[in-house]
Structure 1
Amino acid sequence: MCGLSHNQPTEAVLVSDLTQLQLLKELEPVAENELNRHLSLAREWHPHDYVPWDQARNFAAMGGEDWEPEQSQLSEVAKAAMTLNLLTEDNLPSYHREITDYFSPDGAWGTWVGRWTAEENRHGIVMRDYLVVTRGVDPVALERDRMTNMTKGAHSDDLSGLLKGVAYVTVQELGTRVSHRNTGKACNDPVADRMLQRIAADENLHMIFYRNICAAALELAPDQAMEAITSVLVNFDMPGIGMPNFRKMSLIMAKHGIYDIRQHLDDVVWPVMRKWNIFERNDFGARGEKAREELAAFLEQTELDAKRFEEQRERFLAREAARREKASV
Structure 2
Amino acid sequence: MTTAPTRPSTAQAWSDVQLLHALEEVVETELNRHLKVAREWMPHEYVPWSDGRNFDGVLGGEAWSPEQSKVTDVGRTALVVNLLTEDNLPSYHHEIATLFGRDGAWGTWVHRWTAEEGRHAIVMRDYLLTSRAVDPVELERFRMQHTSTGFEADNSHSVLHSVAYVAFQELATRVSHRNTGRESGDPVCERMLARIATDENLHMVFYRNLLAASLELAPDQAMRAIADVVIGFRMPGHAMPGFERAAARIAIGGIYNLRIHHDDVLQPVLRHLKVLEISGLGAEGLKAQEEIGLYMDGLAGQAAQFDERRAALLARRRKD
TM-score, length-scaled by structure 1: 0.93
Residues 134-172 of structure 1: CA deviation (Å, up to 9, x unaligned) = 111110000000000000111114241100000000100
Q: Over the residues paired in the alignment, what is the CA RMSD in angstroms?
A: 1.0
Aligned residue in 2 for 1:44: 40
Corresponding letter in the other structure for 2:80: T
Q: Please point out which of 174, 196, 203 is paired with 1:199.
A: 196
Distance in 1 between the 2:24 and 2:123 partners?
A: 32
Aligned residue in 1 for 2:27: 31
Unaligned runs of 5+ in 2: 1-8
Residues 145-204 of structure 1: CA deviation (Å, up to 9, x unaligned) = 000000011111424110000000010000000000000011111111110000000000
Aligned residue in 1 for 2:5: none
Asked whether 1:224 is paired with 2:221, we answer yes
Give, in angstroms, the shift of residue 283 of structure 1.
Answer: 2.4
Aligned residue in 1 for 2:172: 175
Asked whether 1:21 is paired with 2:47, we answer no
Distance in 2 between the 1:95 and 1:312 partners?
A: 35
Distance in 1 between the 2:208 and 2:156 partners?
A: 16
Asked whether 1:210 is paired with 2:207, we answer yes
Aligned residue in 2 for 1:8: none
Asked whether 1:111 is paired with 2:108, we answer yes
Aligned residue in 2 for 1:57: 53
Q: Please point out which of 50, 68, 93 is paired with 1:96.
A: 93
Distance in 2 between the 1:177 and 1:123 partners?
A: 12
Unaligned runs of 5+ in 1: 1-12, 324-329
Alignment of 1:277-288 (within 5 A): 277-288=274-285
% identity of equivalent residues: 55
Distance in 2 between the 1:41 and 1:17 partners?
A: 35
Please state whether the residue corresponding to 1:148 is helix, strand or coil. Answer: helix
Give, in angstroms, the shift of residue 14 of structure 1.
Answer: 5.2
Aligned residue in 2 for 1:4: none
Distance in 1 between the 2:299 and 2:188 partners?
A: 35
Give, in angstroms, the shift of residue 47 of structure 1.
Answer: 0.6
Larger Rg: 1
Distance in 1 between the 2:263 and 2:26 partners?
A: 28
Corresponding letter in the other structure for 2:283: A
Corresponding letter in the other structure for 2:197: A
Runs of 4+ in structure 1 deviating by more than 6 angstroms, as ranges, are none
TM-score, length-scaled by structure 2: 0.95
Corresponding letter in the other structure for 1:177: R
Aligned residue in 1 for 2:270: 273
Distance in 1 between the 2:79 and 2:62 partners?
A: 23
Residues 232-276 of structure 1: CA deviation (Å, up to 9, x unaligned) = 111000011010111111111110110111111111111111111
Count residues with an aligned counterpart: 311
Distance in 2 between the 1:158 and 1:288 partners?
A: 18
